[in-house]
Structure 1
């Protein structure tokens, strides 16, 4: 199960997925984020502080989202992953590729 919350702060869209991002939930994640990005794709941060688990399909969903934003000239970053999610990001190389910030405030000032 996943819930996608969002807010706009400092002209930046902050997407807050809650729960698990895996093969069962990645379609909902993609549909919801695509709709949000249509409203604001210039600066987007995915705040991972409530994401409990991410699978390879979840990683693919985040990568697709990042590529969409960057192809439209926007900026993208991830922030505050929980330990298990952080480990997956590091092992996969996605953390370095996409940019992971330790806090939302740091992400807001960098993206």
Structure 2
């Protein structure tokens, strides 16, 4: 049975906050969840450190047979994710 955990960060997804977000997301996947729905509707900025968290989380979900879904991201953040090719493993949803 598939179980999706939901997580909603706020503000910036960058070097200052990356470690706390990575820990929280990996803890969700260490439990029963095999997928994560990441609500980016309140995220203003994503840095390379934040992109790394997306990569690590997507890899952890994939190892459990799940996925990483990103919902509510701004057009600018969606563009960055697509530009770096992360949309191959981060599923963008409206």
TM-score class, shorter: 0.7 to 0.9
- In structure 2, the partner of 1:76 is 68
Tell me how large the CA RMSD over aligned residues is: 1.8
Unaligned runs of 5+ in 1: 1-10, 103-111
Q: Deviations over 1:5-62 (max 9, x none)?
A: xxxxxx4211111110111111111111122222232232111111110011110111
Paired position in structure 2 for 1:109: none
Deviation at 1:76, TM superposition (A): 2.4
User: 2:69·2:90 contact (CA, 8 Å) conserved in 1?
Assistant: yes
The runs of 5 or more residues in structure 2 that have no matched partner are none
Query: RCO higher in 1 or 2 (8 Å CA, sep ≥ 6)?
Result: 2
Number of corresponding residues:
93
What TM-score comes out, normalization by structure 2 length?
0.85
